[in-house]
Amino acid sequence: MRIISGVVPGVSRLARLQVELSKKARQRLKWFDYYNLRGQNARLTCRYFGISPQTFYRWKRRYNPRHIASLEDRSHRPRHLRQPTYSTELVEAVLKLREEYPRWGKDKLMILLHREGFNCSASMVGRILHKLKERGILKEPLPNHISARKRRWQRPYAIRKPKEYVAKKPGDIVEVDTLDVRPLPGVVLKHFTARDVISRWDVLEAHRRATSNTASGFIDVLLKRMPFPIKAIQVDGGSEFQDAFERECQKRGIKLFVLPPRSPKLNGHVERAQRTHTEEFYEVTEASFELGELNQALLEWEKVYNTVRPHQALGYLTPLEFLEQYQQKRREVMCH
């Protein structure tokens, strides 16, 4: 294949013709340049570009070398569009009812229209409302937020985790979450779990209630039991992680990242940890659920979890073994 200055022939032809093509059209033009330079071998062209023969031949039938824009995508708009079957009287009736009852949807409006003698479906009313909004005839009322609807509480310190912030070493992000434990009828305990996303080191503690004061006290436990400094904590929007908890993070200089609503998957490490502690501790423990005894048993399980239990995510190392290897690698890098 003859290439001039590293440019595919089709691209140089585009430069001469000064034709503006999309990225996809330029790629298709390369297909046909390659196809012609290889003796019009379609199978070889398909293998080279990783496309199916059906795709190649479809564009070959469409391609006009004198009209390179024929390689652009065509509109998928149907040739024949469905024409409105509703009358002007029905449109006026829908507009009048919607202006009178601005919060009622198409289903309720359909019932009122039937009472007035109109024969229409809910979908027809919905189409009419959509058209009226498109044309700017129907104006929706502005919400004034004076109802009992909850306003979002402004976080004075917590922020969304920036996209560029990535955990690279232990302590960069520690996910914290709570779990309801119901061992007996009428008994509900609040289990706190903190997990470092790099080393999988966990810290556990149970309480009778999950309040912001309880959660702020859990920060002290974290700092004592995590074998490395904590740079950032990530939590969901629970009330226990507001107020006193947020002030404590700010006081200690720990970044606090709060998740968007309804997104537990973003705290996936600690969510998975909650399942593990439920299955491997709470469902098999012989400890009573008196708080002091339970926390002592949790502390023993925490040691087993961090120093004995192999973790598949760590290549079947324990978190302690992982940290020892991590520190050894850092020392070797610093020596070199």
Question: Quick one: DSSP state of residue 1?
Answer: -
Question: Quick one: DSSP state of residue 203?
Answer: E
What architecture (CATH level 2) is domain 174-335?
2-Layer Sandwich (3.30)
Average per-residue pLDDT for the chain: 88
**108-128 per-position pLDDT tens digit:** 999 999 999 999 999 999 999
pLDDT at position 332: 85
Residue 153 has pLDDT above 80, yes or no: no
Compute the chain's Rg from CA coordinates. 32
27: how many CB neighbours lie within 10 A of its CB? 14
Give the list of residues 6+ apart from residue 46 with CB closer than 8 angstroms, or none.
52, 53, 56
* Nearest-angstrom CA–CA distance, 215 and 192: 8
* Nearest-angstrom CA–CA distance, 328 and 30: 51
| CA 137 to chain CA mean position, Å | 36
**Phi and psi, residue 234, nearest 5°:** -120, 130
Domains of the chain, by residue range, sit at: 9-71, 88-134, 174-335
* Nearest-angstrom CA–CA distance, 86 and 79: 21
Contacts for 202-208: CB closer than 8 Å, 24+ residues apart = 202/273, 202/277, 202/302, 202/305, 202/306, 202/319, 203/302, 204/277, 204/298, 204/299, 204/301, 204/302, 205/295, 205/298, 206/181, 206/291, 206/294, 206/295, 206/298, 207/291, 208/291
Q: Helix, strand or coil for residue 235?
A: strand
**205-238 per-position pLDDT tens digit:** 999 999 999 999 999 999 999 999 999 999 999 9
